[in-house]
Chains A and B, each alone.
Chain A
Amino acid sequence: MSAPLLTVSHLSKRFATGDRRVAALEDVSFTLDRGRTLGLVGPSGSGKSTLSRVIMRLLEPDAGSVIFDGTDLLATRGAALRKLRGRLQMVFQDPVAAFNPRTTVGAALDDPLRIHAIVPRRDRPAVIARLLDRVGLPAALAARAIHEISGGQRQRVAIARALSTEPDLIVLDEAVSALDVSVRGRILELLVDLQRERGLAYLFVSHDLGVVRAVSHDVAIMDRGRIAEIGPAATVVTAPVSPIGQALVAAVPRLVLSPQDAPRA
């Protein structure tokens, strides 16, 4: 059994608001293996976005450690950190805000290839075309402005950009929450296919337990900065043990197709 790709131990983070100190993360620990998805759910303010930002090194925790493929991520600085960053990628909820609004699709994908010096300049157009093709977009889209394409296409470009540095882990923070359901389904299928093909690990952050259930091997439920429970997705979803887990499962709206199973008021 090889070591986990990601080992998070005893992470804590407090924010000061006025004269109060609010615990955003309180002794959070978990592991994530290659090729697996950990779904992270919880009500707003439960700390799930803070946790993903700490793992991405966008935020410094007060205590705890993050070991990524044997390297202490929080102790890594400078050139070593920049090198490591390519192996950790993130896709955000709002693809409009996640791109430079004046850029083109091609330039958005060229940036990481150049910054991380992955491919020589002359080979980049071909690599960009391959990336676009892999996320189901035509190569001709490279010339289009980011603001001209649809929301679903933009999120595919965000995924292509994340893939460009050949990461081991992608943090998906509400990455499908802003999409229409028909588009959402195809993006989730793409993510699952990419995981199988490349052995990617995902930290899938979402408020939507139905979506998390569809793509996660394991699920962690967060509440007030702590992990209230964590386990195989099927177990957590069918038999949650924590009060917050039970409340979240009960709150998922159920599609009522026939009047027999309708809870009539």
Chain B
Amino acid sequence: MIVSVQDLTVTYRGSPMPALSGITLDIAEGERLAIIGESGSGKSTFGLALAGLLPANTTMSGTVSRAGDRAPVGGRDIGMVFQDPGTSLNPVLTVGEQVAEVARRHLRLHWRDAYRRAADLLARVRLPDPEKALRAYPHQLSGGQRQRVAIAAAIAANPKLLIADEATSALDVLVQAEIAALLRELVEERGMTLLFITHDIALASTLADRIAVFRHGQLVDIGLAARVLGQPEPYTAELIGSHLDLQTPPLIDRPAA
């Protein structure tokens, strides 16, 4: 087990209602756990709480315990990828500086070695022309390329846990499929644990071993993907029923009311 969460309740300052209430769940080492939910379900708050990124004035109760005896350090033990790489990357630093900085700080490499590692990582996330990309600024890259950079930075210090919060949601469908495949590969080859936070139940179903369903800050269900989706709780069944894909009978073919 890599993280064990017991009765976690989180209330943001000034908010009458908790964003998360009484969440208990374990994350096993090496697993791919998807957190699915709609807006306001608390799924992003859960990711931030695990990464220790909640605002300082947030009220928290319950425990988050992690494997190992030292306190985890963000960036070193936990990598995080957010929805919008346009705002998660620093616009005035080159891509190379941002990826190398992680390796320099957490792996204590010299800049020269850190840059070499950054170039390798950019190649690994399949950024075209990684040597050139080292000197590029984020605005010179497309959205998909920026998300590849954000992933390279997130994994630069070999974290055990990678948290991807809606990491593919702002990308178009083609790029989304590529980034999802990349995350799957990286997690597999590096033995990382993946926490994949998404509103997209279909994406979760293709990517996760286990699925946790959040609603209004509460855990509705958690279990193996096949069980959670195959024998769904009523709310999960609603989400499944609302899903539209190419197999869904079109609305325009419904008989008129």
Interface residues of A (CB under 8 A from B): 37, 43-44, 151, 180-182, 184-185, 188-189, 192-193, 196, 207-211, 213-217, 233, 237-238, 247-259, 262-263, 265
Contact = CB atoms under 8 A, between A and B. Distances in A.
Given A188-B244, A253-B205, A259-B226, 12 more contacts: A182-B242, A192-B254, A213-B250, A247-B174, A251-B176, A252-B173, A253-B180, A253-B206, A255-B201, A255-B202, A256-B202, A262-B205
A225 to B, nearest CB: 15
B113 interface: no
Q: Nearest 8 A-B pairs (CB), nearest first?
A: A253-B202, A181-B242, A251-B177, A180-B38, A210-B244, A255-B202, A256-B205, A210-B245
Given A180-B199, A214-B251, A253 B174 contact: no
Contacts of B200: 253
Interface residues of B, number: 40
SS class, residues of chain B in contact with chain A: helix
Contact of A37 (B171, B172, B252): B252
B203 interface: yes
Contacts of B257: 193
A210 B248 contact: yes
Contacts of A213: 244-246, 248, 250
Contacts of A151: 39
B250 A233 contact: yes
B92 interface: no
A152 to B, nearest CB: 10
B16 interface: no
Given A181-B38, A196-B256, A255-B202, A215 B226 contact: no
B188 interface: yes
Nearest to A212: B244
Nearest to B40: A180
